[in-house]
């Protein structure tokens, strides 16, 4: 069984789709997929489906949704020559468990590859880090669970995934900066800064990519844009580390050179 959550939701078993079309069974399967081989408690599923005001029939209705999912899985198993749906979507004390290889869920595969990329980055193997992190990010096809209604439990999971994705983007950019790919990064970082206008880490990397591409005035200009936004909207100044980066650029400090990449990373950490 293969499940995709890093974009539109989908589930297949062999050549057959087992993606439920109704909203609430989709929520159930999505939450189970994000916690593969772990028991998801009945209270957590009830909260996902109905929030703080579940109907009196909540437990019975949840069982109906599980039965529906098992029928979809069972029909696909029959096409493949047999198998029991209850061995895939298992009942456990107090909840349910989706018993499939975690690597068959793209979110878990993303985490495995991303962790390997982070490990390579920490070891200074920047080529491997950039390759692995890019491979992890390529698994994303849009916002997580873009077409699934979300209660509180799923919303928490989606927020975690989106934040993790952005963190991996930052690390991959750092690996590319270490490798001297600043020219290629300018366009990507321009888009990221436009989507996250007050994200200081992305802004700092954009400034560095511009500076190393011989566009010092644009690097300083994007700092000024951020400062104006922070002052007007939040009555705040940029952080001390971003101000320090501006001062380094004003003085054309050698710390900004690619050869001092790791020293600069420490200053901005």
**What pLDDT score was predicted for residue 263?**
65
Out of 73, 101, 129, a domain closes at 101
What are the distances in angstroms from CA 164 to CA 45, 106, 122? 24, 14, 17
**What pLDDT score was predicted for residue 81?**
83
Domain membership of residue 228 (yes or no) is yes
Sign, CA dihedral 71-72-75-77, equals negative
Out of 101, 125, 159, a domain closes at 101
- Angle between helices 261-268 and 200-212 in degrees, nearest 10: 150
Alpha-helical segments (H) within 17-151: 23-34, 42-50, 58-79, 106-122, 126-137
Confidence band (pLDDT; 50, 70, 90) for 109? Answer: very high
- Those residues whose C-beta lies under 8 Å from the C-beta of residue 129, and which sit 6 or more positions away, are 117, 118, 120, 121, 171, 172, 175
Tell which residue, 84, 86, 106, 104, has the closest CA to residue 96.
Answer: 86
Confidence band (pLDDT; 50, 70, 90) for 101? Answer: very high
Domain membership of residue 164 (yes or no) is no
| Complete DSSP assignment for 154-182 | HHHHHHHHHHHHHHHHHHHHHHHHHTT-H
Question: What integer is the mean pLDDT of 151-162?
Answer: 97
Domain membership of residue 264 (yes or no) is yes
- Cα 114-173-187 angle, rounded to 5 deg: 130
**What pLDDT score was predicted for residue 106?**
98
Domain membership of residue 158 (yes or no) is no
Beta strand pairing call for 10-13 and 95-98: unpaired
For the chain, the domain total comes to: 2
> Residue 34 sits in which domain range?
2-101
Q: What is the DSSP letter of 103?
A: G
Using a 10 angstrom Cβ sphere, with 0-12 exposed, 13-18 middle and 19 or more buried, the burial of residue 32 is buried
Structure pTM? 0.92
Tell which residue, 164, 67, 183, 37, has the closest CA to residue 111.
Answer: 164
Q: Is the pLDDT of residue 260 over 60?
A: no
DSSP β-bridge partners for residue 156: none
Q: For residue range 170-205, what is the model confidence (pLDDT) as tens digits?
A: 999 999 999 999 999 999 999 999 999 999 999 999
Domain membership of residue 113 (yes or no) is no
- Better-scored residue on pLDDT, 262 or 53: 53
CATH number, domain at 9?
1.10.10.10
Backbone torsion region of residue 13, taken as left when φ is above 0, otherwise alpha when ψ lies between -120 and 50, otherwise beta: beta
Q: Is the pLDDT of residue 240 over 70?
A: yes
Out of 101, 118, 137, a domain closes at 101
Q: Do 185 and 97 share a domain, yes or no? A: no
Domain membership of residue 157 (yes or no) is no
Domain membership of residue 111 (yes or no) is no
CATH number, domain at 240?
1.25.40.10
Domain membership of residue 241 (yes or no) is yes
Q: Is the pLDDT of residue 146 over 80?
A: yes
Average pLDDT, the chain: 94
């Amino acid at each position: 069984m293969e499940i995709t959550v890093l974009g539109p939701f989908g589930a297949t078993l062999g050549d057959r789709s087992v993606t439920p079309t109704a909203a609430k069974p989709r929520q159930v399967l999505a939450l189970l997929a994000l916690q593969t081989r772990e028991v998801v408690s009945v209270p957590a599923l009830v909260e996902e489906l109905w929030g703080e005001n579940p109907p009196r029939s909540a437990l019975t209705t949840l069982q109906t949704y599980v039965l529906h999912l098992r029928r979809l899985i069972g029909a696909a198993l029959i096409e493949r020559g047999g198998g029991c749906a209850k061995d895939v979507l298992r009942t456990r004390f107090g909840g349910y468990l989706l018993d499939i290889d975690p690597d068959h869920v793209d979110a878990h595969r993303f985490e495995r590859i991303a962790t390997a990329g982070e490990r390579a980055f920490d070891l200074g193997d920047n080529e491997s880090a950039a390759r692995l992190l890019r491979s992890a990010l390529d698994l994303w096809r849009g916002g997580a669970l873009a077409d699934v209604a979300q209660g509180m439990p799923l919303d928490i999971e989606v927020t975690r995934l989106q934040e993790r994705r952005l963190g991996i983007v930052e690390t991959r950019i750092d690996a590319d900066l270490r490798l001297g790919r600043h020219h290629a990064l300018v366009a990507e970082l321009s888009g990221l800064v436009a989507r996250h206008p007050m994200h200081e880490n992305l802004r700092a990397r954009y400034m560095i990519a511009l500076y190393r591409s011989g566009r010092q005035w644009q690097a300083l200009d994007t700092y000024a844009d951020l400062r104006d936004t922070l002052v007007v909207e939040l009555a705040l100044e940029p952080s001390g580390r971003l101000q320090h980066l501006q001062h380094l650029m004003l003085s054309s400090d050698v710390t900004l050179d690619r050869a001092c990449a790791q020293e600069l990373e420490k200053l901005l950490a």
